Amino acid sequence: MTLIGKIFTVLILIMSLVFMTVAMMVYATHKNWRDVVKGDGAAVQGMEKTITEQKTAATNLQGEIETLKTKLEQERAARVFALAALQARTKLQDAELQRLDQENERLVKSEADMKILLELAETNSKNLKQEVAQLRGDIKTAQSDRDTNFQEVVMLTDKLQQYKVEQDRLKEREQQLVNTTARMQRVLTAHGMDQYTPVDGIPPKLEAVVTAVNDNNMVEISVGSDDGIRRGNTLDVFRGDAYLGRIIIKETAPDRAVGEIDREFRRGLIKKGDYVSTKLG
């Protein structure tokens, strides 16, 4: 045998071993894909059965999705209904608010009308005093002429009765005014004043509160020049029924004023929130 023949013989042997090894590897890795799909005789579940179960699970999930969609639509409908109800309540509340605003305007206007009527009543009361004096003269004249004009006397007698009632009321009012004047006179005397005491420098009657107090005996109050307060006015300070002292106004603003505590009249420690009124003397 030649050298080339030997070489080919060795190559054939080597190739035979290689092919045998490949064949053994292929056999070792061979699978029966039908058994894998069907799962026949295998310990692991087949792919076909797995796919069937996955389809069943997918169908169940689809049903749950449809159920959730239905619930979602119901929830949306409920929310829309609730929103509509809230909008309706809002409209009702807006209407009620508008009604209350109108009622407030009506009450404000009514208050203004009542003030006008009160002023008219006071004016009428003054005029009635003059009318009563004049009617007394008319009554005397009517009594002297009653024999010649009986009908007129009857009419005037009715008026006389009405005027007597009014006169009694005015007398009672006069007595009240006399008593009030006497009390006022006692108050003026107690404060060293009389009917000739100048009143131009006396502040208007008012009520206010202390809004601030500092360490320099300065007090701020809740009324100012718009309320008639001027520099030099004196005001008294109270807490309940207790008299605390007097302040002298030093500076004014439209809605507030600053005063200095008069040490001579000081009777207690003035604090924020104390009551302030116009002094009587």
Q: What is the pTM of this model?
A: 0.32
- DSSP codes of every residue in 193-219: --TTS--TTSPPP-EEEEEEE-TTSEE
pLDDT score, position 25: 81
pLDDT at 33: 61
Query: Which pLDDT score, from 0 to 100, does residue 197 have?
Result: 64
Model confidence pLDDT, tens digit, residues 245-272: 999 999 999 999 999 999 899 999 999 9
**CB neighbour list of residue 188: distance below 8 Å, 6 or more residues apart:** 194, 195, 197
CA–CA gap between residue 237 and residue 277 (Å, rounded):
7
**Pairwise CA distance, residues 220 & 237, whole Å:** 12
Question: Quick one: the chain helix, strand, coil %, rounded to 5?
Answer: 65, 15, 25
Tell me which residues of the chain have a pLDDT lower than 70: 1, 30-48, 149, 153, 187-188, 190-204, 279-281
Distance of alpha carbon 125 from alpha carbon 170, whole angstroms? 9
Q: What is the DSSP letter of 46?
A: P
Residue 281: its pLDDT value, please?
40
Q: What is the pLDDT of residue 134?
A: 85
